[in-house]
Structure 1
């Protein structure tokens, strides 16, 4: 026993000496109080709406540093009561608490817990990680004692209260006070101090913005401990914590769908910086709330919803990526790709209008088969001869298929690309009915271009970025626009879109002022769409299940159209009513009144055959009485026309396969006049081009007898 006592005492003495040396060296390596006060890690980002109001605050936020005398006594006592009741007595490590924890561990608990004092927590926050290892706990204890030897208790508590994490990016009581109560930490009441102190144990669990009831229950525990330790009176301990007014928190609502999309763009827009920044965005808080409400109110049970709304310049006014951000932060507005159904017919009819059709032209709604594929209308019936406007308004699949076949499925695909579709586009015949998957934001961008009379529209969400001191790091500059489709084509498709809402499948989208739009529904109601515009605002709505299972009532003309209407009524409320320009003014090259439009003048350098192809004069030097367009006694075929196709105007089958020929290329002057675009010069020696094509896009005559390309 004597030897055991001596050896034990000697080892204890050596351990104390080693501990003292470790604490001494640790104390010498610890930065000064002022250095610790100035250190902040991470970047704070404040995101503001278009009206300047704060949407969310992301990243670490440290608030204003509060000196010890500025911190309310209630806040100090609340923190000490719940986190370290013997704070003012121990040397950084609480021997009593440690002994109790070791005893509990030895009698059954498998880990040592509840042993960290305020000083130890400060040491961990400043210098260590949160790994639960013996090595980390030993270093934490050494650093805690080093802090106690270097700083006073008031300085340690001041550092702790200004550095501790309270959740939601808030570090320190001033930042937490602003985040949860909208006022400075110097004004904290006893009840508010209890709520903040109660969060330290588990910020995500006891945050009042995450679970108010749980935060209130935890605050009541803090008040009870404060009363038991005699730092507050019984009357103060009986305060009704549930009456504390909390600041509305947008960090977990639908706004995050937008910020999750917009903020990653800062990596490309800004130089590398770690100082706090403010991001001014295009989002309208009122419209964002209206969009969230419209999706929640109209999405069928079990279905998700997405919405994107663009101003006339491409500014994103609202973005919804799902029915509940907390439940699912997957942004279906920009990440999900789904089939658009008949909403894709926008590109089919745009290609047809650009090829020469007008809304009044007569077409045949009759059964048709294209390459073995037989499309059917939604109701199963056929209307016979109708005009283009009616075919679009009632979303006739057979007419869309015939138009796509006539202008070329590649032409439809190029039209979709031209208007902003970024996902892969196939050219199978069924593509005209929306079998290609696409994104909500891409489809909305395409409709926005039509609202802009054919000019390009590029969605954007960030207006400018400034530092905390006001220096501008980035300023949005409007990009140069380009004419994607001629204005008369935009006017024609707007006519069709307006009719679809007035009398067609989109009647549920009416809002008491002119609206142009299109519904979309996929097989078995797996996807429902409505996209449209009014008074300069373009909005796209999608609804469906993530697992693509059928949903009842999901037709584009029902739930999506109603959600569109609910949102747009709020969006355009303060905007003047705008009538659409649907007057189709065809260019001069489509308005020639005489037969020279078909055959050309013999004295002209070029002339046009009855298929609409341009032929040089030397190509028509046939003998007297011969048909200048005949080859072996028959007319030449359009090389882009498929044999056996149905002419959508006449409903007749084309002749059997015949010998084909490729005409000479047209000159640049004619193309510039015909398309309204500047045609780049061809390289030397390049004198031929595919028949009927301009930059890879077929040209079609409006008045061609057979309606061919």
Structure 2
């Protein structure tokens, strides 16, 4: 008996000793690991990696940049059934334990003991939060113990709802989706609030193994996992039998939804991305910045369509270059075999890749990946006269087989009425469009080329091209500002060279090849007379003109120091040209274009607000607008004093008196400087209206508006075609040309290649807007003059018109002393061109 008691006493002491040893071991682990554990309080201030998103001014997504797709949401935005689905799948005792589920851990230990390997970690949702935010994914006992300790601390610091919110926003759910909102968008293209019960269960099945249970990659496994979760929800009383049965009968509907832009503006998106990376470095891709641009989605889409249509129309005018490639069709051929052969080809614009599979009865049968089989008739190809050269085409095809053969890889597009298809081809010519609000400098739309996928070269900012006659208004403004008038006569006659050898170096002439004698400046500009422009520049002075036009945003160092300046020989970007015209459009005030309106951080705080340069009229309109709500920004303000009463943070100003809280800022602006007499600008508006009414821009009359002004431009050998036009609310510049300068063709001018694009865009931009003419400033007088002499008209004279002048420059009666006369007769001295004038 004594021996039996001693044995049990030994067992008892052994058990106590084991417990003590285990306690000491656990305590040792705790004391060893605890000092190195991160502070759980960090979870309250954690910064999730959220991609950079670019939006239009009307909140349409333009682009998203970043490795991870994530859209954080709050716990009250999560549907109850979705929370229950995750709890059923991952941690059904979530609301009962304090961070660690002992039953789950014991189950994991039993699996390890029986199988010899770790099958499940017994992790609770809280433990997963600890692992995802603070620990690695390695399967070691040390990491597991850290996970347990952190989970216990998290439960002490945070509520269950706070833990769930962190979990729902952090977990990886496959296909670059981090968090349940991103997963909902990726797999179903909608917010979590719109998910069905079956879809909720499908997403809840992903955390265990995002690749294995992915409904797109492994639909059969995903279905089994989904139905198991629905069974668990039924067992736990989260759903009733009817909901369970209906959800289990629902087929898989998940399809990949990429981060599709709602507005196509890739050139602007790239501009914004570069700005953000320059400003914030690589963190720009993960800090969750939302960038709002000045562009409107409707106008941007109109610009895209206008540029593409204009370039495609140009391409058609010069003939069909033949199929992009040819393939040997299998006999019999299959859709799969054809798809494999064209799968790597890139779509451009709205052109669809197609393969000709057969020709019969003057119709071609085409295969397309997106639209299946299509029938193309003769009407869709009759435009396709063969391209011979930029100035020559072959004969009109008589039947469809003259153009297409089986095996041809071609591109097609919808006809204008969107009912039929027609043959198309990817243009080799390129073009840009820049549209600016003249009173603020805000860019309304920008297109950098035919298609960003075809070429990422942003011609609006990077292509330096000769402006041709599009530059002439600035030369004329310099003359008007320095004493000439719209009635000043300049001789339109052949240039007289001091040295006959100079004729071989430079022989300017009008595009028509004709000469028209003494010509008023108004007529010379709206008819774009080259010889008048040269003589006018010589009269004003090259140096004087160069210094003057640099006020409009042109780099004076890039302007030629000779008479070729009159013909637009200077190279400049379309954005620079648009900026210069914006100053003309807004009444003569400096224009500073900008395209980023504001930047928000992931919390919705505004960390950047543009401070545009506003004209006086824009400031008046702003003053009449309802006061805006104060803008909440980061509290740590960089006290960089810009003015006595302004503290500047990037481009946001806090003005004393508006708020006593320096963390509450209101939008600010700069007042634009007047750089030219507004009366001179008013006269230029009047002349440029004549370009539309009776000059080279007459096609713009199709818009049936009385407030349009503009100027065409074409360079030597038709290498560049331009049109810049505006009213006081919208200025738009269009350029068309080849990337490697070569002729567009002898019939291609600004009026034929660029102006139609401008018209198509402005038809949308000006729709339902009131007439916007410049108001006549004080100091302008209207005088009747003789059209042949430019002098004050006499009673009973014929050939008279009314002309506008600055008051001090108006023509006077004949008895007025000659020094006060504004009418200038052509001088023979002005006709002589020297070597210094050219080189």
Instruction: Output the TM-score relative to the length of structure 2.
Output: 0.53
Structure 1 residues 139 and 542, CA gap change in structure 2 (3 angstroms): farther
Match of 2:604? 468
Structure 1 residues 375 and 156, CA gap change in structure 2 (3 angstroms): same
In structure 2, what is the Cα distance between the partners aligned to 1:337 and 1:119?
59
Q: Say yes or no: does 1:316 pair with 2:443.
A: yes
Does the residue aligned with 2:538 lie in a helix, a strand or coil?
helix
Does the residue aligned with 2:525 lie in a helix, a strand or coil?
helix
Does the residue aligned with 1:453 lie in a helix, a strand or coil?
coil
Q: Say yes or no: does 1:517 pair with 2:517.
A: no
How far has the Cα of 1:555 moved from its partner? 3.2
How far has the Cα of 1:243 moved from its partner? 8.8
Structure 1 residues 202 and 254, CA gap change in structure 2 (3 angstroms): farther
1:109-188 correspondence to structure 2 within 5 Å:
126=133, 143=143, 146-147=146-147, 150-151=150-151, 161-164=168-171, 171-175=178-182, 177=184, 184-185=191-192, 187-188=194-195
2:275 to 253, 264, 284: 264
1:508-534 deviation per Cα after TM superposition (whole angstroms, max 9, x unaligned): 333110311112233444433211102
Match of 2:766? 572
In structure 1, what is the Cα distance between the partners aligned to 2:553 and 2:710?
17
Runs of 5+ consecutive residues of structure 1 not aligned to the other structure:
1-17, 81-86, 101-117, 129-135, 206-214, 601-607, 613-646, 658-709
1:591-670 correspondence to structure 2 within 5 Å:
598=818, 653=831
Q: Say yes or no: does 1:437 pair with 2:571.
A: yes
1:120-156 deviation per Cα after TM superposition (whole angstroms, max 9, x unaligned): 998996468xxxxxxx986999647743675499999
Q: Report which stretch shifted further, 174-183 or 310-319.
A: 174-183
Match of 1:562? 756
Structure 1 residues 379 and 184, CA gap change in structure 2 (3 angstroms): same
In structure 1, what is the Cα distance between the partners aligned to 2:452 and 2:308?
12
Structure 1 residues 94 and 124, CA gap change in structure 2 (3 angstroms): farther
Match of 1:531? 724
Match of 1:303? 429
1:96-118 deviation per Cα after TM superposition (whole angstroms, max 9, x unaligned): 99999xxxxxxxxxxxxxxxxx9
Match of 1:294? 306
Structure 1 residues 341 and 574, CA gap change in structure 2 (3 angstroms): same
In structure 1, what is the Cα distance between the partners aligned to 2:140 and 2:496?
78
2:736 to 527, 530, 543: 543
Match of 2:682? 491
Match of 2:549? 416
Q: Report which stretch shifted further, 315-324 or 228-237.
A: 228-237
In structure 2, what is the Cα distance between the partners aligned to 1:566 and 1:458?
26
In structure 2, what is the Cα distance between the partners aligned to 1:288 and 1:431?
33
How far has the Cα of 1:502 moved from its partner? 2.3
How far has the Cα of 1:538 moved from its partner? 1.0
Contact 1:194 1:220 in 2 (8 A): no
Contact 2:56 2:292 in 1 (8 A): yes
Structure 1 residues 527 and 653, CA gap change in structure 2 (3 angstroms): closer
Contact 1:376 1:397 in 2 (8 A): yes
1:216-260 deviation per Cα after TM superposition (whole angstroms, max 9, x unaligned): 954846744636867689985785666989798437730660683
Q: Say yes or no: does 1:451 pair with 2:576.
A: no
Contact 1:420 1:442 in 2 (8 A): yes
In structure 1, what is the Cα distance between the partners aligned to 2:208 and 2:431?
37
How far has the Cα of 1:331 moved from its partner? 3.5
Contact 1:403 1:648 in 2 (8 A): no
Contact 1:281 1:463 in 2 (8 A): yes
Does the residue aligned with 1:584 lie in a helix, a strand or coil?
strand
Runs of 5+ consecutive residues of structure 2 not aligned to the other structure:
1-24, 92-103, 119-124, 232-243, 313-426, 606-629, 634-651, 653-665, 777-802
Contact 2:683 2:805 in 1 (8 A): no
Match of 1:505? 696
How far has the Cα of 1:576 moved from its partner? 1.1
Contact 2:187 2:255 in 1 (8 A): no
Higher strand share: 2
Does the residue aligned with 1:334 lie in a helix, a strand or coil?
helix
Match of 1:373? 506
Contact 1:258 1:319 in 2 (8 A): no
Q: Report which stretch shifted further, 276-285 or 440-449.
A: 276-285
Q: CA RMSD in A?
A: 5.6
Does the residue aligned with 1:561 lie in a helix, a strand or coil?
helix
Match of 2:388? none
Contact 2:205 2:229 in 1 (8 A): no
Structure 1 residues 449 and 158, CA gap change in structure 2 (3 angstroms): closer
2:531 to 398, 420, 437: 398
1:345 to 451, 459, 472: 472
Match of 1:253? 264
How far has the Cα of 1:39 moved from its partner? 1.3
In structure 2, what is the Cα distance between the partners aligned to 1:94 and 1:528?
76
Contact 1:120 1:140 in 2 (8 A): no
In structure 2, what is the Cα distance between the partners aligned to 1:182 and 1:262?
25
Structure 1 residues 184 and 524, CA gap change in structure 2 (3 angstroms): same
How far has the Cα of 1:197 moved from its partner? 8.5
1:13-43 deviation per Cα after TM superposition (whole angstroms, max 9, x unaligned): xxxxx9x999996686343666446411567
Q: Say yes or no: does 1:427 pair with 2:561.
A: yes
Structure 1 residues 653 and 516, CA gap change in structure 2 (3 angstroms): closer
Does the residue aligned with 1:447 lie in a helix, a strand or coil?
helix
In structure 1, what is the Cα distance between the partners aligned to 2:529 and 2:128?
69
Q: Report which stretch shifted further, 433-442 or 29-38.
A: 29-38
In structure 2, what is the Cα distance between the partners aligned to 1:340 and 1:486?
24
In structure 2, what is the Cα distance between the partners aligned to 1:259 and 1:477?
26
Contact 1:304 1:323 in 2 (8 A): yes
1:147-174 deviation per Cα after TM superposition (whole angstroms, max 9, x unaligned): 3675499999975542146799974223
Structure 1 residues 34 and 344, CA gap change in structure 2 (3 angstroms): same
How far has the Cα of 1:47 moved from its partner? 5.9
Contact 1:66 1:174 in 2 (8 A): no
Structure 1 residues 295 and 72, CA gap change in structure 2 (3 angstroms): farther
In structure 1, what is the Cα distance between the partners aligned to 2:36 and 2:138?
17
How far has the Cα of 1:343 moved from its partner? 0.8
How far has the Cα of 1:391 moved from its partner? 2.4
